[in-house]
Amino acid sequence: MRKLQLSSQYCPSLLGVSYDHTASFSYRIITPLRTLYEVYGARTSWSYIDDLTVLGAGTYDMVILSRVSFVNVDKVRRAIAQFHAVGTRIILDYDDNFLDIPDWNPAKLSVEAQDSIRDLLGLVDGVTVSSDTLKRYYAPYAKRIEVIPNYVETQAWPDTRKDNAKIRIGLLGSRSHVEDWKLVENPLRRIMERYGDQVILCVSDPVPEYLHDLPLEIQPWVSIDRYPMLLNQIDIGLCPLQDDVFNRCKTGIKALEYGMAGAAIVASPTQYREIVAGRGTIARNEEEWYAGIEKYIVSPVQRNLAGRLMNQYVRDRWSAQTKAPYIKQAYTTLFRKITHAQGITYAMT
């Protein structure tokens, strides 16, 4: 076993790679790697590469592959073999439980695809995930696994300046929430019937069929760079989430985004109770959803107070720069465990 001389403050060099432009890649890879560079001067970089062949990957301590799904498993297998051939350590990052996706979810994977992901978890040198709950599901298939929560680059979030003539209610997210949003269908119908002249209901495209008859402002997809400006226009943010195995592995990132936007939040207890309770409203049934939304419509004081409380909470508790030591520790722990398994020990200087 050979020794490697490292400073006690050493942070491994990291390259993040994704096959597509997703919010997940931004939160899971770009935010932590940019934070390590800004706080510690660490050598970090990230790239969108369709074929996952990255020139210079062998010069980094670790390469992180983002959110590999069934569409590119074979491609990633080949990339892992190529990276390992030049001595590059490979990390796989996930922020969803791809092994327990509900049947109704458009992202539902076949049994074969799930088996392929399990194989990948065992092929790579380490795995990073977004929550302790998700870690419990992936740990049986991974050699080494660390938790890096989703944090927000609070210092980079644009200032919130709302001058809305009408109160804007946000129901924003991907098409994978088609069943989750049914939690608010009837409450929103009642809200629009009573307060339709005072509010605008802003819903992400594609809009579920069961909401088509409501008066909506349909929000098309925007890039992650423009997304904060969209969120900043929301006065009341809705976070409905069914209670199931898949959703219990998610994080509360949507509430953190609404918090940075200074919006008052009404949310399901699933994944949001700890974040929102005492700073917004938790809704467990249709009546509570209706009452929570109505409260923030009729009371500007409560709406503004909830928005300020959430904004300050996110800045205090979920800032990536504040959490930089935890991010660094997770990557460093993985690096040390992997290199030790490769027959390398450390002489710290």
Full-model pTM: 0.92
Domain coordinates in residue numbering, the chain: 2-151+320-348, 155-317
pLDDT at 349: 54
pLDDT at 73: 75
Bridge partners of 170?
Answer: 202, 237
> What CA–CA distances, in Å, run from 61 to 131, 161, 212, 230, 250?
24, 42, 50, 37, 29
CA gap 85, 74 in Å, rounded: 17
CA gap 202, 219 in Å, rounded: 6
* Amino acid (one-letter) located at 269: P
pLDDT at 332: 94
Asked: is 2-151+320-348 a CATH 3.40.50.360 domain? The reply is no
pLDDT at 310: 97
CA gap 201, 203 in Å, rounded: 6
Topology (CATH level 3) of domain 155-317: Rossmann fold (3.40.50)
pLDDT tens-digit profile, the chain (349 residues): 555 566 667 899 999 988 777 788 999 999 999 999 999 999 999 987 765 566 667 788 999 998 876 666 777 888 888 888 888 899 999 999 999 988 888 888 888 888 888 999 999 999 999 999 999 999 999 999 999 999 999 998 988 777 788 999 999 998 889 999 999 999 999 999 999 999 999 999 999 999 999 999 999 988 888 899 999 999 999 999 999 999 999 999 999 999 999 999 999 999 999 999 999 999 999 999 999 999 999 999 999 999 999 999 999 999 999 999 999 999 999 999 998 877 766 655 5
pLDDT at 7: 64
pLDDT at 62: 93
Task: Residue 14: name the closest of 68, 60, 49 by CA.
Answer: 60
Beta-carbon-side half-sphere exposure of residue 3 (alpha carbons within 13 Å):
7
pLDDT at 339: 87
pLDDT at 253: 96
2-151+320-348 and 155-317: identical CATH topology: yes
